[in-house]
Structure formats: structure tokens, C-alpha cells
């Protein structure tokens, strides 16, 4: 008879974990394309093939892959539904990854047929996530404002990927001239960057941060007006793309105001975090600063005071993706995934029961270099764009690549040797095997 539970000798991989692990392991490859594209951004070659490739790898192959995996776990918990990820999730991961890789290769080679095929695979994967979310929400036992955010964000993702695939089809066959004009791209960016990433990350932060700080409820926060500003601003921007510029400017002003409101809540959560060293808290402090910068930039653009609007838009999108979105993902990886435990347990060889006894388990010394590099990358790339200095953007791209490599080693590659060493071998001692 067994005398008690034994510690596993390898990480336990779940179906949602495939998305999280895959994104972290592939992050350096994605960052390499960012490093190649960064100097071209400073030259305002934002529609060049290397930039389009890097953009879609960051959005669909980094941010969206992580978000899909996290939602497969977070959504049932938030909705109060006991639900394990279905088997189709494993197939979804393979389909999505294949679609993203095909998209990246097709943008790089300007192969429109590959864009259509890759986009279709991504849309199918997104529809699986949307269907799973609908099934969970239909059985929910509770509701919250974060769930409202997530619902809108998933709708935004479906619309963004569907619209993007339509743009690819039109690029090949040119059956709708309107889709070849800049407003069509504005719609794609609004759906993907705002209604998907911004709404999702802000909504999930309201769900998670009350679990890390002494603020245990959303009472007194601005969760409602922030949501209203994000939704109204995004819809106005979509309408303004095909109507009048003033409508779009009004939407940008609303988005900027919503961002500043959100910053007040972020500062409130950071103040209530406690005094223990925590690398996730530092990430959110940087995110608060970048949210302020981005929000002020939106309001300035809406006011018409920026001297070179195109350059400011390129700089803002660069900071949003390589800074704001990336830091939100990297910061939370130390909290809501098993990777940090795997780092201590399987990379460093620590017994599992010793990890909680560490003085600062959420401040591994090896997390500081990727924090500094990834924290500096977005601002350097954006500043290089604003100043027209290709070498400065290139430095930011290099920092992004090096930070991605160190981050992926810390939470991914460092424990892989242990996984492969015991692959296919039972975790039970010989005397316990049947």
C-alpha cells in the first residue's frame, strides 16, 4: 500500500497548457522577426513585408496563443462552471499554430494563397474558442464585469480574424475596392488591437488583480466607465473609418479618457499589493506608465496637435504590442501558470514543498534581466520611430529579442531537459507498480 503521495518527476502538461507552453517556447522566434522589422518602422516602412510578418506573429502567434490557453482555464473558473478543456482543444492548438506559421511565411513571401489558407485556419481555431466560451457562458452560475469584458473581447477576436481573412481574399481577387483603401486597415486594427487585446487584458486584470492584492472586490473601481469608454470609443472609431474623421477623433478621445481612468485603478491595485518583492507587480507598474503615455497620445491625436500623425500612430502601435501587451503576458506568466513552479522544481531541482518557503518566490533573480530588456524594448522602438532613428529602433528590437530569449529560457527551456529525461517512464517506484 502506498505510504502517501509522491512528487511527480516531470511537469504535467494539460491541453490549455499546450497554448501557453507553445507561445513561450516560440517567443524568441517571434521576437527575432520583431528585431528585423524594428529599423523599418523608424523609416515608416510599416507596410513592408517584414513588418507585416512580425506584426501578425506577435498578435496571433504570441498574444492570441497565450490568451486562448489562459481563457480555456480562466473562463470556467470566472463563470462558476466545472469544465475541463475538451479534446478538441489539442486539435485547435495544432490548427492555430499551423495557420499562424503559414500566415507568417506567406506575408514574408507575399503569397496571397497562403494568406487565405492560413487566415482560414486561424479563423477556424478562433471559432472553436468562441464556441467553447459560448457553451461555458450558457451554463454560468455567476456573472461579473470581467466576464462582460471577455465576452466582448472574444467577439472582437472573431471579427478581427474574419475581417483580416476577408482582406487577404480581396488582396488576391480584388472584388471590393473599398477593402484596398486605408479605412479597411483601420477597421482591422481597431478590432484586433482595441476590441480584442485592450478589452481582454483590461477585463482580465480586473479579475486577477483583486486576487493578488488587499483589494478583494471591484467596489470603488472604475470598471464600468472604463468599459463604456473602450466600447464606445472603439465603435466610434469603426464608424469614423467610413464616415467622417471627426467621429473617429471622438472615438480616440473616448479611448484615451478610458485609459486614464484605468490607470487610476491600476495605481490603486499596485498600492494594495504589499511590500514583498514581486516581479509581476513591477510589470504592472510599467504597464500603468505605458497606459498613461498611450492614452495621452490618443487624446493628442484626437485634438489634432501632433505634427506627424502617421509617425505617432506607428510609434503608438509599436509600444502597444511590444510593450503593453507583451509585458501584460510576461508579468502574469509568473502568477497564473505553473511555469515558475516548474522552474524551481524541475530546472533547479528544488522539492515542491520548499518553493513556498522561499523569501521571495515571485522574484527569481534570473527574472530581472528579461524584465529590464522587455521593459526597455517597446519604448526604444517607439522612440526610434518618433525620432526617425533606425539605429534606436534596432536597439529596441535587439532588446526585445534578448529579453524574449531569457524569458523563454526561464519559464520554458530550463525545465525541458527534465521533461525529456523521464519521457515515457512511469513516475512510480518499481515496488509500487502493478
Structural domains in the chain (count): 1
On whether residue 8 sits in a domain, the answer given is no
Distance, CA of 92 to CA of 75 (rounded, Å): 17
For residue 433, the model assigns a pLDDT of 40
Q: State the pLDDT at residue 430.
A: 45
Mean pLDDT of 43-72: 96
**C-alpha to C-alpha distance for 424 and 146, rounded to whole angstroms:** 40
Residue 177: inside a domain:
yes
Q: Is there a domain that residue 428 lies in?
A: no
CA distance linking residue 342 with residue 414, whole number of Å? 9
Between the CA of residue 401 and those of 34, 275, 328, 376, 383, what are the distances in Å? Answer: 7, 31, 17, 11, 17
1 Cβ neighbours under 8 A, 6+ residues apart: none
CA distance 210 to 227: 17
Average pLDDT over residues 376-381: 98
- Reported confidence tier of residue 291, pLDDT bands at 50, 70, 90: very high
In order, the DSSP letters of 27-95 are HHHHHHHHHHHHHHHHTT-TTSHHHHHHHHHHIIIIIHHHHHHHHHHHHHHHHT---PPPTHHHHHHHH
Handedness of CA 209, 62, 340, 19 (dihedral sign): positive
Is 302 part of any domain? Answer: yes
Question: What dihedral angle (degrees, nearest 10) is formed by the CA atoms of 399, 402, 404, 406?
Answer: -130
- Per-residue pLDDT, averaged over 51-61, amounts to 97
CA distance 279 to 27: 19
User: CB–CB of 298/259 below 8 Å?
Assistant: yes
**CA 271 → CA 108, 205, 212, 265, distances in Å?**
45, 15, 11, 10
Query: The cell 513516475 sits on which residue?
Result: 427
In a domain, 50, yes or no: yes
- CB neighbours of residue 319 within 10 Å: 25
The pLDDT assigned to 7 comes to: 62
pLDDT average, residue stretch 181-192: 94
Highest mean pLDDT among 46-55, 272-281, 329-338: 46-55
Contact (Cβ atoms closer than 8 angstroms) between residue 104 and residue 57 = yes
- Give me the half-sphere count of Cα atoms (radius 13 Å) on the Cβ side of residue 140: 16
Q: What confidence score (pLDDT) does residue 428 get?
A: 41
- Give domain status of residue 289, yes or no: yes
Cell of residue 303, nine digits: 485634438
3 state DSSP class of 120? helix
Q: Do the beta carbons of residue 321 and residue 58 sit within 8 Å?
A: yes
Long-range contacts of 425-434 (CB under 8 A, 24+ apart): 427/6, 427/8, 427/9, 427/10, 428/6, 429/6, 432/2
Residue 5 pLDDT greater than 60, yes or no: no
Chain position carrying cell 511537469: 11
For residue 385, what pLDDT is reported?
97
**What average pLDDT does this structure show over 219-242?**
96
Does residue 400 have a pLDDT over 70? yes
| 431 pLDDT tier (thresholds 50, 70, 90) | very low
- Model-level pTM greater than 0.75? yes
For residue 90, give its domain range: 15-418
CATH number at residue 165: 1.20.210.10
- pLDDT, residue 247, reads 96
CA distance 199 to 334: 22
Q: What percent of the chain has pLDDT over 90?
A: 77
397 inside domain: yes
Could you report the per-residue pLDDT of 124-147, keeping only the tens digit for each?
999 999 999 999 999 999 999 999
Amino acid at each position: 500500500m502506498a505510504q502517501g503521495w509522491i512528487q511527480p518527476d516531470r511537469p504535467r502538461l494539460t491541453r490549455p497548457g499546450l497554448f501557453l507552453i507553445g507561445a513561450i517556447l516560440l517567443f524568441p522566434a517571434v521576437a527575432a522577426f520583431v528585431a528585423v522589422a524594428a529599423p523599418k518602422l523608424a523609416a515608416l516602412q510599416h507596410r513592408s513585408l517584414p513588418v507585416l510578418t512580425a506584426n501578425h506573429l506577435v498578435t496571433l502567434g504570441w498574444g492570441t496563443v497565450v490568451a486562448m490557453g489562459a481563457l480555456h482555464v480562466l473562463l470556467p473558473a470566472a463563470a462558476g462552471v466545472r469544465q475541463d478543456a475538451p479534446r478538441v482543444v489539442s486539435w485547435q492548438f495544432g490548427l492555430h499554430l499551423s495557420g499562424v506559421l503559414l500566415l507568417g511565411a506567406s506575408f514574408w513571401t507575399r503569397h496571397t494563397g497562403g494568406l487565405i489558407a492560413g487566415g482560414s485556419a486561424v479563423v477556424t481555431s478562433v471559432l472553436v474558442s468562441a464556441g467553447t466560451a459560448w457553451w461555458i457562458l450558457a451554463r454560468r452560475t455567476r456573472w461579473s464585469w470581467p466576464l462582460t469584458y471577455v465576452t466582448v473581447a472574444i467577439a472582437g477576436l472573431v471579427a478581427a480574424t474574419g475581417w483580416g481573412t476577408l482582406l487577404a481574399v480581396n488582396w488576391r481577387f480584388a472584388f471590393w475596392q473599398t477593402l484596398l483603401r486605408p479605412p479597411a486597415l483601420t477597421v482591422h486594427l481597431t478590432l484586433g488591437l482595441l476590441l480584442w487585446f485592450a478589452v481582454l487584458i483590461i477585463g482580465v486584470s480586473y479579475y486577477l488583480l483583486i486576487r493578488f492584492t488587499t483589494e478583494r472586490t471591484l467596489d470603488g473601481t472604475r470598471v464600468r466607465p472604463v468599459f463604456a469608454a473602450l466600447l464606445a470609443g472603439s465603435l466610434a472609431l469603426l464608424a469614423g473609418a467610413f464616415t467622417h474623421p471627426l467621429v473617429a477623433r471622438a472615438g480616440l478621445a473616448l479611448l484615451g479618457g478610458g485609459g486614464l481612468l484605468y490607470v487610476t485603478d491600476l495605481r490603486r491595485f499596485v498600492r494594495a499589493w504589499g511590500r514583498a518583492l514581486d516581479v509581476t507587480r513591477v510589470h504592472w507598474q510599467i504597464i500603468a506608465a505605458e497606459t498613461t503615455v498611450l492614452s495621452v497620445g490618443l487624446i493628442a491625436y484626437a485634438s489634432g496637435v501632433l505634427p506627424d500623425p502617421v509617425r505617432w500612430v506607428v510609434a503608438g502601435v509599436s509600444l502597444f504590442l511590444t510593450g503593453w501587451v507583451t509585458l501584460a503576458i510576461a508579468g502574469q506568466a509568473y502568477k497564473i501558470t505553473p511555469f515558475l513552479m516548474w522552474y524551481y522544481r524541475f530546472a533547479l531541482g528544488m522539492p515542491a514543498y520548499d518553493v513556498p518557503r522561499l523569501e521571495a518566490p515571485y522574484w527569481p533573480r534570473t527574472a530581472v534581466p528579461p524584465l529590464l530588456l522587455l521593459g526597455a524594448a517597446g519604448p526604444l522602438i517607439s522612440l526610434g520611430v518618433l525620432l526617425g532613428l533606425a539605429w534606436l529602433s534596432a536597439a529596441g528590437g535587439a532588446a526585445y529579442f534578448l529579453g524574449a530569449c531569457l524569458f523563454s529560457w526561464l519559464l520554458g527551456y530550463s525545465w525541458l531537459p527534465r521533461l525529456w529525461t523521464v519521457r515515457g517512464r512511469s513516475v512510480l517506484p518499481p515496488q509500487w507498480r502493478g
